[in-house]
């Protein structure tokens, strides 16, 4: 018996048609509960297990419906991917047109926002539900390059019967996540899809390279925008007494006076002029600037440790494997942000231990090594620069008075599935 995984080089060596037959055999055995002659790659195997738990139809998938045109346009306008769409399209279309492929750009939920390429392939894609506004998240479309790369947060090529849903076996897809280079937030996925017979291992390298170029362009555009805001804010800050800072509409700092400059502050979802509570600063007075805000810090004390922060409700949402997030609602507004995998792990442990954890305990929770306190303190320092008044220390914990709600997947095995932290491994294997 050969239990070697059918990876991309191996499939290329045996040819696409033979590879498809081998993969179909693996799929049939997996669905029947038999031990296959070959095995999927680890990333595909893990995805299949998740998809089976979601109860996705192995023949047709689970359709969630298309987004309306107004919602698609709203999402297009709201994502930084719109600013680099020409770069993404130019980089991906060169291969798409020549190889009878199409290019697709999705948001962080796996919703298709843009699609272009060979018209014949686009018509066939429509028949498969691969249309603008459709969801290709794993729990809807099963194992596929878009949905699975959103969970694994890495580039991925999925060929033929590696797709869980039989209807997609005629496809070969390569996808790479596009992240916001400023904070690592997942923005969406760049994808090239075409006939399985036209599989080429180099496609994944191309898609990954284009995604990295787009990230570099986002970084450069951000730098230019902050520079413009800084020039506008400088004379305003020069006249301000006390502590104040100028930030862009996403909270990135362009200028500061009377305090150490934070890289970024978390702003409420709908910020208006007037009094506002900022987790890392406390109560502030917000005044509009061109493409940004002037924040005058009202709280006392060095560093603005969130004094006078109103009691609030904190929701740590870990239900979607690739999109852990934290949201806060209080009397002075609400805000939310996506979390990095490491920060999601940290906050999960603190949400489970409301009385707090020492640095040594957190090191054991996250790394299985209580001696790694330096790493833990460095990560918590980054978290507290953003969350400020939400977290206390000695021991590390959510602040008293905060109502913390932890939202986890219905199936514990879907809880941050790619985390290897001992605390998460224990939670995923716990009975019931």
pLDDT tens digits, one per residue of 404-428? 999 998 888 888 887 889 999 999 8
Residue 179's pLDDT band (cuts 50, 70, 90):
very high
Residue 252's pLDDT band (cuts 50, 70, 90):
very high
* d(C-alpha 117, C-alpha 193), whole Å: 10
Residue 395's pLDDT band (cuts 50, 70, 90):
very high
pTM of the model as a whole: 0.75
Instruction: Give tens-digit pLDDT for 191-204.
Output: 999 888 777 778 89
- pLDDT exceeds cutoff 50 at 135: yes
Q: What is the mean pLDDT of residues 323-331?
A: 79
Among 221, 111, 128, residue whose Cα is nearest residue 167? 128
* d(C-alpha 244, C-alpha 254), whole Å: 11
Instruction: Give tens-digit pLDDT for 3-47.
Output: 555 555 555 555 555 555 656 666 666 665 666 666 668 889 888
Q: What is the pLDDT of residue 110?
A: 93
Q: What is the pLDDT of residue 404?
A: 92
Token pair for 188: 């969406």
Q: What is the pLDDT of residue 24?
A: 61
Residue found by looking up tokens 């796996």 in the block: 110
CATH number of this structure's domain 8-219 = 3.30.450.40
DSSP letters, 90-124, are: HHHHHHHHHTT-EEEEEETT-BEEEEEE-HHHHHH
Q: Beta 397-398 vs 403-407: how paired, if at all?
A: unpaired
Q: What is the pLDDT of residue 2?
A: 47
């Amino acid at each position: 018996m050969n239990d070697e995984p059918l990876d991309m080089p191996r499939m290329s060596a045996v040819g696409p048609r033979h590879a498809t037959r081998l993969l179909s055999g693996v799929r049939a055995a997996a669905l029947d509960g038999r031990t296959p002659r070959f095995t999927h790659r680890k990333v595909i195997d893990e995805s299949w297990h998740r998809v089976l738990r979601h109860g996705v139809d192995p023949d047709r998938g689970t359709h969630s419906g298309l987004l309306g045109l107004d919602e698609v346009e709203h999402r297009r306008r709201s994502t930084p991917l719109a600013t680099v769409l020409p770069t993404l399209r130019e980089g991906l279309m060169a291969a798409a047109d020549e190889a009878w492929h199409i290019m697709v750009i999705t948001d962080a939920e796996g919703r298709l926002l843009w699609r272009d390429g060979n018209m014949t392939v686009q018509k066939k894609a429509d028949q498969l539900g691969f249309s603008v506004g459709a969801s290709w998240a794993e729990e809807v479309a099963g194992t596929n390059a878009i949905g699975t790369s959103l969970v694994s947060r890495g580039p991925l090529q999925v060929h033929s019967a590696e797709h869980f849903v039989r209807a997609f076996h005629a496809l070969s897809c390569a996808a790479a996540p596009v992240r916001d280079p400023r904070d690592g937030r997942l923005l969406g996925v760049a994808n090239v899809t075409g006939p399985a017979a036209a599989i080429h291992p180099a496609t994944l390298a191309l898609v990954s390279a284009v995604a990295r170029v787009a990230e570099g362009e986002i970084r450069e555009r951000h730098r230019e925008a902050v520079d413009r805001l800084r020039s506008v804010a400088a004379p305003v800050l020069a006249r301000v007494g006390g502590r104040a800072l100028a930030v862009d509409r996403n909270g990135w700092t362009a200028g500061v006076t009377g305090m150490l400059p934070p890289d970024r502050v978390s702003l409420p979802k709908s910020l208006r002029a007037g009094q506002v509570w900022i987790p890392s600063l406390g109560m502030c007075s917000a005044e509009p600037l061109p493409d940004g805000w002037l924040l005058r810090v009202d709280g006392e004390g060095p560093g603005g440790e969130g004094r006078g922060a109103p009691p609030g409700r904190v929701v740590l949402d870990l239900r979607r494997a690739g999109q852990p997030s934290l949201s806060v609602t209080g009397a002075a507004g609400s805000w939310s942000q996506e979390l990095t995998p490491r920060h999601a792990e940290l906050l999960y442990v603190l949400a489970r231990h409301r009385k707090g954890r020492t640095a040594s305990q957190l090191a054991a929770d996250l790394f299985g090594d209580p001696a790694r306190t330096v790493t833990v303190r460095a990560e918590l320092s980054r978290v507290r620069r953003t969350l400020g008044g939400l977290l206390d220390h000695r021991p590390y914990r959510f602040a008293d008075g905060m109502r913390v709600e932890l939202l986890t997947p219905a199936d514990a095995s879907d809880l941050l599935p790619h985390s290897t932290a001992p605390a998460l491994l224990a939670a995923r294997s716990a009975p019931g």
